[in-house]
Amino acid sequence: MGAGHRHGGAHGHAAGRAEDRSRLHLVLLVTGVVVVVEVFGAWVSGSLALLADAGHMVTDAAAVALALSAS
């Protein structure tokens, strides 16, 4: 009953860290794109809810950036 991965084989933790950093970069990019789209949508529609959610997404992006700096 594994967690979808094997524990055998020749792999190092450095390779895993590089993969994790790569994924964090992707998450940061996607989050940034969502922020831009939400700010644009808020501006076009005058939606304060979209603007507030964009602000929330900025804090999410900051958390991912912090995780990147720590890894």
Question: b vs e for 12-45, b when ≥16 Cβ sit within 10 Å of the residue's Cβ?
Answer: eeeeeeeeeeeebeeebeebeeebeebbeebeee
Cα distance between residue 65 and residue 57, in whole Å: 12
Per-residue model confidence (pLDDT) at position 5: 63
Per-residue model confidence (pLDDT) at position 18: 85
Per-residue model confidence (pLDDT) at position 7: 61
Q: Does the global pTM surpass 0.95? A: no
Amino acid at 63: A
Domain residue limits, the chain:
17-70
Per-residue model confidence (pLDDT) at position 63: 97
Give mean pLDDT in consecutive 10-residue pieces for the chain, a chain of 71 residues. Answer: 61 74 95 98 98 98 95 85
